[in-house]
Structure 1
């Protein structure tokens, strides 16, 4: 009987090795760090950023895949949205994405360094893209708005999942971030209040499946009244444009979300040992 049992166990191990797809354990590329090129080029800056990541995530950073986000990467997006262009000495924001922690999407922002973009803003933009899993950490070695970090975060997800986010979706998500940052910096509206308003409006717009600009403007205005938020007509128009843009690329978002959902659901979900224990008991 003992020989029979051992034989079954060995056969099961062989079968498991045959049917489990490569990367099931989530070890490869499950943690990705994107450094702003200014940060990566300065050893002190990089050490400060790494210190934040280690203290917040408790991850051995030597196991992480590293990428550098350049001014050119950021300018491909920002120049078409805000008209701003950055030099290689201006890209500080850095991000760590941990797909092992994939119960639900979480964002931890170093508020002592990231001055404008909040965790809720990143959450909203990532959910707009179709990303719903993973833990994201954002920091900078010096004070920064955090606008350029979204490019790094999305790049991290592409590296970790090997699924490319459509350019139309990247542009729409970044436009959402840049629009909110501009409004916060030039008004008395708090980042938290604005982020909540945008989330509420996007939910209604998606439920109604509308891309009509006037309709979206009216929905925004109604929420400013409900929440007693003072936005200029120009701010409302800009928000409507960014939300309308997201709605117009919803087809691309749905395709990406379908492609990436299986990867995000499996990454970090367990190792062969975990599966073995689940079948035979610990």
Structure 2
């Protein structure tokens, strides 16, 4: 059962990955090799990012390509990372791939900040109840019992509150507007990186973290995803609304995913329904 502190830190995954890719991109832009870049940025504060950096650095020292390391890195890398890093190295647009990943995780962290803001009140209320609920004990003179109850409650809140925190984060994250925001932003990122449309769609559905949307996409083969326009493909998809379908149609016709899907994702994150 995760503690409150460990769960709170786990929600910062996007921020840590954003910092990692932003630093890596700056080093590559300056002309450093991947080995020098990964070594120069130093140890990262987040354990999961440090594991990823160590894996990449050890491989770079052995002369292995990023493509090989990412494909054999297992759960160290998320699907979006694997797709963009491999594509970037194979097409000579590695710096751009790092930039897109930094943007992707920056947006992901911004969404987490919104979720944290929504969770602040219930978490604070739960802590207050630890002190308020046993107050009758103090009123009737059972001071020792009150202190024991409060102490036990505080310890339970700190040590096991992480489960409640994660549950609340998942609850907020499953709201349809946020599902649409993740889908739109991930789709724009994949297309801008140069991924084939079916691959970008599958990554976007996975990034949306919604079982219904993933099932809808997985039920279609590559030809079905590529043959029709985005508007027709997602007309009957779960959680889709007229505004998102319209944005997909505009992006499909103009090729401008940044000022359509990305902007709409920002509106969803700001509370647009």
TM-score, length-scaled by structure 1: 0.28
TM-score, length-scaled by structure 2: 0.29
Larger strand fraction of residues = 1
Higher RCO (CA-CA < 8 Å; seq separation 6+): 1
